[in-house]
């Protein structure tokens, strides 16, 4: 019985250590996101082709909706994960990265889940779930 209690106590201490150390998250507030986009709407014309994007209202500081392929969309939070006080990231169409042009110049890949390409950011762009209903031509974005 004593060994079992020691094991549980030791496991609890170790778990607390592993889960509290080394796991950082960007200081971006969590806000509810539940958006439906009718892609037949002319304001979303750019999303007819893979490789294109639009900015929409939502999230904390806006959302980048990127059409990766015919049936795959990705939605990214625009607030810079390195320093949320800096503001929004913008898509640089010449190199096709999202970039914080105001503070840290971190660049993020739109093709690879918002991963950091360069700059000081330790965090990728926050992603929202994006589900495309092709039969309705509707994109649902949620968290």
As a whole number, the mean pLDDT across the chain is: 84
Helix (H, G, I), strand (E, B) or coil at 35: strand
Instruction: Dump pLDDT digits (tens) for 78-112.
Output: 999 998 888 789 998 776 688 888 788 899 999 99
Helices (H), the chain: 2-20
Instruction: Dump pLDDT digits (tens) for 47-79.
Output: 999 999 999 999 999 999 999 999 999 999 999
Number of neighbours of residue 68 by Cβ within 10 angstroms: 17
pLDDT at residue 116 in the model: 95
Q: How far is CA 58 from CA 17, 27, 105, 107, in A?
A: 36, 18, 23, 21
Element (H, E) at 118: strand 116-118
Number of neighbours of residue 75 by Cβ within 10 angstroms: 28
Q: What's the CATH fold of domain 2-142?
A: Rieske Iron-sulfur Protein (2.102.10)
What are the residue ranges spanned by the domains of the chain?
2-142
């Amino acid at each position: 019985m004593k060994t079992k209690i020691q094991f549980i106590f030791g496991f609890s201490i170790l778990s607390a250590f592993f889960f509290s150390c080394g796991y950082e998250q960007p200081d971006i507030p969590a806000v509810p996101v539940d958006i439906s986009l009718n892609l037949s709407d002319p304001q979303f014309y750019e999303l007819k082709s893979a490789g294109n994007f639009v900015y929409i209202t939502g999230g904390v500081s806006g959302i980048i909706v990127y059409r990766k392929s015919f049936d795959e969309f990705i939605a990214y939070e625009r607030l810079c994960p390195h320093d949320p006080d800096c503001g929004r990231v913008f898509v640089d169409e010449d190199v096709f990265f999202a970039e914080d042009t105001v503070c840290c110049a971190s660049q993020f890949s739109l093709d690879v889940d918002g991963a950091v390409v360069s700059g000081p950011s330790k965090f990728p762009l926050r992603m929202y779930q994006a589900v495309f209903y092709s039969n309705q031509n509707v994109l649902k974005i949620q968290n």
